[in-house]
Amino acid sequence: MKHRGQTSLTTKIAVITGASSGVGLATAELFAKKRYNIILAARGVEALEKAVSKCNALGSHTVYKSTDMSSAEEVKELVEYCLSQFGRIDVWVNNAGVMASGKFEDIPMEIHEQVIKTNLMGYMHGAYYVLPVFKQQNQGILINNVSIGGYLPAPFSAVYSATKSGIKGVMSGLQSELSIYPEIHICNIYPQIQRSTGNMHSAKYSGLDFKIPPFAADPMETAKVIYKLTLKPKKDTFPDVSSYMIKLIHGIFPHTFTNLITAVMRGMMKQAKGKDDEGNILKPSKEPHQVYGETSTVLLSDSTKRLVSIGLIIGIGLYTATRIRKNIN
Ligand X SMILES: NC(=O)c1ccc[n+]([C@@H]2O[C@H](COP(=O)([O-])OP(=O)(O)OC[C@H]3O[C@@H](n4cnc5c(N)ncnc54)[C@H](OP(=O)(O)O)[C@@H]3O)[C@@H](O)[C@H]2O)c1
Identity of the residue, 98 or 208, whose beta carbon is nearer to ligand X in the bound complex: 98
Dist CA 54 CA 219 (whole Å): 17
Q: Give the span between the Cα atoms of 201 and 286, in whole angstroms.
A: 7
204 binds ligand X (CB under 6 A): no
Chain positions 80 to 109 lying near ligand X, rule: CB under 6 A, are 95-98
Q: Which stretch binds ligand X (CB under 6 A): 3-11, 263-271, 278-286, 311-319?
A: 278-286
Q: What share of the chain is helix, strand, coil (3-state, %, to 5)?
A: 50, 15, 35
Q: Which residues contact 308 (CB under 8 A, 6 or more apart)?
A: 214, 215, 300
Stretch that binds ligand X, among 52-60, 233-241, 247-255, 277-285 (CB under 6 A): 277-285
Q: Is there binding between residue 161 and ligand X (CB under 6 A)? A: no
Which one-letter amino acid corresponds to residue 233?
Answer: P
155 touches ligand X by CB under 6 A: no
User: Is residue 284 close enough to count as binding ligand X by CB under 6 A?
Assistant: yes
Q: Considering the complex, what minimum distance in angstroms separates the CB of residue 154 from ligand X?
A: 9
User: Nearest distance from residue 300's CB to ligand X, in Å?
Assistant: 16
Separation CA 138–CA 136 (nearest Å): 5
**62 interacts with ligand X by CB under 6 A:** no
Q: Are 67 and 82 in contact (CB under 8 A)?
A: no
Task: State which residue, 37 or 199, has the beta carbon closest to ligand X.
Answer: 199
How far from the centroid of its chain's Cα atoms is residue 184's Cα? 21
40 to 63, 77, 237, 265, 277: CA distances (angstroms): 6, 13, 23, 34, 27
What's the closest the beta carbon of residue 324 comes to ligand X, in angstroms? Answer: 28
Looking at 21-29, 124-132, 133-141, 247-255, which segment touches ligand X (CB under 6 A)? 21-29
Q: What are the catalytic residues?
A: 160
CB of 328 to ligand X, least distance (A): 34
Query: In this chain, which stretch among 133-141, 171-179, 194-202, 227-235 interacts with ligand X, using CB under 6 A?
Result: 194-202
Using CA atoms of 315, 321, 325, 328 in order, give the dihedral in degrees to the nearest 10. 140
Q: How far is the CB of 273 from ligand X (least distance, A)?
A: 23
Of 201 and 305, which CB lies nearer to ligand X in the complex structure? Answer: 201
Q: Decide: 21 and 197 in contact? Cβ < 8 Å.
A: yes
Any contact of residue 280 with ligand X (CB under 6 A)? yes
Determine which residue in the list 20, 27, 60, 320 makes contact with ligand X, applying CB under 6 A: 20
Residue type, 225: V
Are 196 and 21 in contact by the 8 Å Cβ rule? The answer is yes
Residue 118 found at the interface with ligand X (CB under 6 A)? yes
Q: How far is the CB of 222 from ligand X (least distance, A)?
A: 8
First vs last C-alpha separation in the chain: 74
State which of residues 193, 203, 245, 265 lies at the interface with ligand X (CB under 6 A). Answer: 193
Burial 158-187 (b: 16+ CB within 10 A, else e): bbbbbbbbbbbebbeebbeebeeeeebbbb
Residues that bind ligand X (CB under 6 A): 17-24, 42-44, 47, 67-70, 95-98, 118, 145, 147, 191, 193-194, 196-199, 201, 280, 284-285
